Structure formats: structure tokens, C-alpha cells
Amino acid sequence: MSASPKILLVKLSSLGDVLHNLPIVCDLRAHLPDAQIDWVVEEGYVHLLEPLLSRDGFRGIDHIIPFGLRRWKKNLFRLATWKKFFSFRRALQATTYDVLIETQGLLKSAIVCSLAKKSSSAVVAGLANATEFSGYEPLARSFYNQSVQVPTQCHAVDRSRWVMCSALDWPLLHRSDAPQFYPKAFVESIPKAMVEGLKTPYILCFHSTAREAKRWSNDNWIALGKGLSARGCQLVFPWGNATEKSVSQLLAAQIPGALVPPAFSIEEAFSVIAGAALTLGVDTGLTHLSAVLDKPTVEIYCDSPRWKTEGYWSSQICNVGDIQNPPSVQEVLNASLKLLDQA
């Protein structure tokens, strides 16, 4: 393979999955500094990749190719939708790729690989099997010319690295090769949030998640919030929709000084998280954003396996609970105080 291959990464969604795929950009750049690295991602998650764009002497991602499937499906019979799809396909075919790394294992991701323009000897690598508790569509394998077998219990970061190393015929990277998500200079330059009513020190509480079973109980959040509030911290309960807002308001009403902030975007979340003394959250994307930014984070696992997404790369992260074994209030409080004392 040339020293400057053209590489396409395909990881479309969701928030946490995209975050856990980030380290392979730095892995690729460390070994192939002159490679072209492009990434296809759902348009709603473009902001997660923008800090890795190549600029001002930093080399990361060369091009982000937004994919609008979620929006297109809602307007499938409109001419404008098809115009946008063909525009996406032109962008995807503007480069002839030598290596395509598809780490999602879904048919939609595999079809994106099939639409890309490829060199005659291109490697199209993807998952050969499912990992436990992850979505997987076996038909996707028919779009690869290299199907990569991974352990059935494999952390999301490790799984992406496994496919990458196989695609490029590299020795497998291990956890001792600490993953790098965002450039240190970017993390240090994130501006602190300017939110009305926000007081420092504040603690973010991401209580909501797409699957109800992954939530920690309201009573636990209230008991924890009262304990941390008594130590001089403001508890902040973000939300993403009307149902989540109602829960945030219910929790905040029972904790002295707690705040329900206005809704904020993924882009704004960087600043809100950067300014927090601590982030507490269930297994959900914004909790993982705090962990990959290497901010003090307690990840609370209630009905998902800890091995799948736990933050293992920093002493700033505490992981508590496990599948069908939610942590007690005391466990989360102890982890919280440990991280606050480290600050």
C-alpha cells in the first residue's frame, strides 16, 4: 500500500457510537501521516467530527461527508430529497478510495460503502459478526471483501480498532495504547458555557436515555442530588424533548438550588460539559461525550453491560453499576466525591 492511501471511514450514528469511533482517526494519522482520511456521518453528528478537521497545521479528517438518511426517509417522495441524495453520492464519488473501514455492521452503512468510488484493489473491511448487545445485520457482510471477526464481548473503541488494524494488516492495538479522541489543544480551548441561572461549581446530570430500562430511578437521582447539593454544588438536569423536560423539572423541584437549563445542541454541549465540575449520567451519548473529553465523569450502568462502553482511558472517569445491577446512591455518591476531591 502507498504511504498516502485514500481512506474512507463509515460510521453514521449514533452519538455514542460516533464518539467511540474517533480514536481510529488519530491511530491512522500516527501511522499514515500523508493519508487522506474522509468520514461519512449522519448530518446531525457532523459537529462531533469538526474538531478533527485538518487545519492550522493539525492533520485529522480531511473531509466530512454528511449523510441525511434520517431526514430523507421522512420526505422520500419529494424531488428535493432526491437532489440531496444525488449531491451526497457525488461527494462520495469525488475520491477514489483505497481503504474503506465500516465499523457499524448495518446494511445502510454497507450500502454507503458500495456507493463509494474505489480503486481496483480497494479493501472494504467490516464486521463479520455481532457483538453482544449491539445492532448487527448479517447481510452487510456481502458488501465487504474483508469481514473481520471480533470478540463477542468487545468494547466499542476496541471493536473499531480491530476492524482498522485488520483492514491495514497492522498488529492489533490494545488498551495500553491509550485512545485519543480529540486534540488536547481543542479540549483546552473549549469556551465555558453561558447559561442563565448556571452557578459554579455545577454538576451535570444526564438522567435520560432512549431505552427506559437504562435509566436510574428518579428517587436515586433526588437522593444523590440532595447529598451533592448539601456540599455546595448546583445540580443541572438537561433534557432533549418534552418528556425528558418534565422529568428534569420533577427532579430539580426536589433538590435545593437545582436548575433545568434551556435545551442545547450537541455543539453547545461541549461548552456546558467543559464548564462542569462533574458530569453524572446513564449510558447515553452525552455522558460519553464528557468521558471522551476527559472531564470528571461518573458513568452509571443500569441495564447495559459496562464492558461495552465504559471509559477505561482516564482516572477522571468512574464506572459504576452493570447490566441488571444498578448502583446504589452511596456508590454513585462515593464515586462523585472521589472525582470532586481530585479536581
Share of the chain above pLDDT 90, in %: 89
Tell me the domain boundaries of the chain: 6-187, 191-342
CA–CA distances in Å: residue 121 to residues 2, 3, 29, 186, 323 = 12, 15, 21, 36, 43
Q: Which CATH architecture does the domain made up of 6-187 adopt?
A: 3-Layer(aba) Sandwich (3.40)
Highest mean pLDDT, choosing among 189-193, 196-200, 328-332: 328-332
pLDDT of residue 183: 95
Q: List pLDDT tens digits, range 293-312.
A: 999 999 999 999 999 999 99
Q: List pLDDT tens digits, range 222-262.
A: 999 999 999 999 999 999 999 999 999 999 999 999 999 99
| pLDDT band (50, 70, 90) for residue 162 | very high
pLDDT of residue 57: 87
| pLDDT band (50, 70, 90) for residue 59 | very high
Half-sphere exposure of 12 (CA within 13 A, CB side): 15
Asked whether the domain spanning 191-342 has the same topology as the one spanning 6-187, the reply is yes
Sole residue written with cell 447490566:
323
CA–CA distances in Å: residue 272 to residues 95, 105, 194, 250 = 37, 32, 8, 21
Structural class in CATH, domain 191-342: alpha beta
- Please state the pTM of the whole predicted model: 0.96
